[in-house]
Chains A and B, each alone.
Chain A
Amino acid sequence: MVKTPCPKCGYLNPAAAACCTLCQAIFRAPEARPRRVPGGRRDFYSEQAGNRRLSWLLLSALVLILGALGYAIGGAYGSARSGLVICLALGALSGAGAYLGGDRMLLAASGAREVAPQAEPQLQNLVEELCVASGLPKPRVYVIDSEAPNAFATGRSPARASIAVTTGLLKKLNRDELQGVLAHEMSHIRNLDVRFAMLVGILIGTVALLCDANLRSGRIASRRRSRGGGGALILLALVLSILAPFASKLIQMAVSRRRELLADASAVELTRNPLALASALRRIGTDPAPLGAANRATQHLYIVNPVKSFGMDSSALFSTHPPIEARVRILEAMA
């Protein structure tokens, strides 16, 4: 393997390293670019507070939308009140399920296995280092057997969090790049993004479920239509059923993109090494191996979207992540 000696301390680094492993000196001088970190300079305490606030807001919106949907759909079938009760119960049930067991379900669905304390010493070390840097308890560490380099974090609180990385990530990234990726995941845990994403997910899922159910049974409802009051509710239910999934999806994607940028920025706050994360993102983004375990339901969790590949022009409204090029540019501007 080709090695490049560090000009500052002489340590021999892997050829691809963006900075010295030993003394952290940066090899390539980045071009001067305008600094634009999303959200400006905010520490993670205000991020946590903001996320808590937004979580409550979102929860209220969820209850409201669910209630409105239930009321309208129930009304279309004759009993607005029982529709309301059924919808809210459904929402509460799925919410409680996801809150209590969502992380385990997700890890199982991704084919992740927990790493024994003695196995993978470097991975364990990296996670422990970042716990020292962030003052968080150590999350559980999982590995997914896949050539595709990628990672995600889950768990409802920092005390009950898990980080999963693929074997491809461990193989293809150097120590500093791995540190950057893990710091990104730790930042998701620290900023309470995981709980937040979970709430958003439940909102989307329940709304979609209800709207689907209503649209599919629309014909029965129209046959039963009799009085004028029911007609208005049927129309409302129809319009809501068509619009609500789109609206909620748009919100989810916008929120998800913002949280990704923020996690990048917080990762740099932990490691003070933006170039390593930038080169890791680039490497993950250009890797051709597909991640079999990922699908549209879990794509927004990973550090780089495993389902779709992004170019600079595809920052569509419906993408879960900002384009990698944009993320790399922002990171390089921090160096």
Chain B
Amino acid sequence: MSIGVILLLVLVVAAVLVVAAYNGLVSLRNQVRNAWQQIGVQLKRRHDLIPNLVEVVKDYMGYEQETLEKVIRARNQALTATGIAGTAAAEGALTGALRSLFAVVESYPQLKANENVVRLQEELTSTENRIAFARQFYNDMVMRYNTKLQVVPTNILASMFAFKEEPYFEVPAAEQEPVKVDLR
């Protein structure tokens, strides 16, 4: 075999490796974006559930109109919020309002015995979990993607084709506060 043939083979192998690494980066970036969309899907699920919940519990909760109104207000704000920071803050407020509502429901025996309430509570618990899991999954994907951008040899490729690091999802400040429950 001549030198030329060997060189050609090396070049072909190198090209295949570069293409594979590039495609890997693109697919990972798309997975990160898809994971971000999934958070939105789960948030929408929560928005859709809340009117049902309010409808079912409002007759029982004569003294707790304030808690209910807070939930409704928070939902409407979350629906109209724009921008990543704005959405995060509004959703955080909604999470807080829902938690207070749950805590209040616990103190109403008729409510806890109501089949519809039990079902809705299960749905909302599940939705809260899904939102948390979707965020967790997004962050896991971002970590994988960002790591890929930083390690040798893909970092060379990443800087050549201007792949940018994605931001992590951070828990909104409103969700970090402890829940205040006012039981009169």
- Which A residues form the contact surface with B (CB < 8 A)? 8-12, 21-23, 43, 45, 121-122, 125-126, 128-130, 132-135, 175, 179, 270, 272
Contacts and interface: CB of A to CB of B under 8 A. Distances in A.
B122 interface: yes
Interface residues of B, number: 24
Interface of B: 31, 35, 38, 42, 99, 102-103, 106, 119, 122-123, 125-126, 129-130, 133-134, 136-137, 141, 144, 178-179, 181
Contacts of A10: 103, 179, 181
A128 B137 contact: no
B64 to A, nearest CB: 15
Contacts of A126: 126
Nearest to A134: B137
Contacts of B136: 133, 272
A122 B99 CA distance: 19
Nearest to B39: A132
A129 B178 contact: no
A62 B130 CA distance: 42
Contact of B137 (A9, A133, A179): A133
A156 to B, nearest CB: 23
Contacts of B179: 9-10, 23
A214 B37 CA distance: 60
- B interface secondary structure, majority: helix
A22 B128 CA distance: 9
Q: Which of A10, A45, A134 has the most CB of B within 10 A?
A: A10
Contact of A135 (B35, B99, B106): B35
Residue of A21, A45, A129, A134 ringed by the most chain B CB atoms within 10 A: A129
B125 A132 contact: no
A125 B102 CA distance: 18
Given A9-B99, A121-B119, A129-B129, 8 more contacts: A8-B178, A10-B103, A10-B181, A11-B103, A122-B122, A132-B130, A132-B134, A133-B137
B137 A135 contact: yes
B130 A128 contact: yes
A11 B106 contact: yes
A134 B38 CA distance: 12
B125 A133 contact: no
Nearest to B38: A132
A10 B102 CA distance: 10
B151 to A, nearest CB: 14
Nearest to A11: B103
Contacts of A130: 133
Contacts of B126: 122, 125-126, 128-129
Contacts of A45: 144
A318 B4 CA distance: 59
Contacts of B106: 11-12
Contacts of B178: 8-9
Contacts of A125: 122-123, 126
Contacts of B99: 9, 11, 22-23
Nearest to A269: B140
Contacts of B130: 128-129, 132
Nearest to B31: A135
A129 B135 CA distance: 12
Contacts of A175: 125
Q: Which 7 A-B pairs have CB atoms at the shortest separation, nearest pair first? A: A133-B133, A125-B126, A132-B133, A129-B129, A9-B179, A132-B130, A12-B106
A133 B128 CA distance: 12
A270 B125 CA distance: 17
5 contacts: A11-B102, A128-B126, A129-B126, A132-B133, A135-B35
Contacts of B103: 9-11, 22
A9 to B, nearest CB: 5
A22 B181 CA distance: 14
B95 to A, nearest CB: 10
A43 B141 CA distance: 12
Contacts of B133: 129-130, 132-133, 270
Nearest to A45: B144
Contacts of A132: 38, 42, 130, 133-134, 137
Contacts of B122: 121-122, 125
Contacts of A129: 126, 129-130, 133
B1 to A, nearest CB: 31
A171 to B, nearest CB: 16
A122 B178 CA distance: 27
A197 to B, nearest CB: 26
B123 A22 contact: no
A22 B38 CA distance: 22
Contacts of B31: 135
Of listed B123, B137, B144, residue having the most chain A CB within 10 A: B137
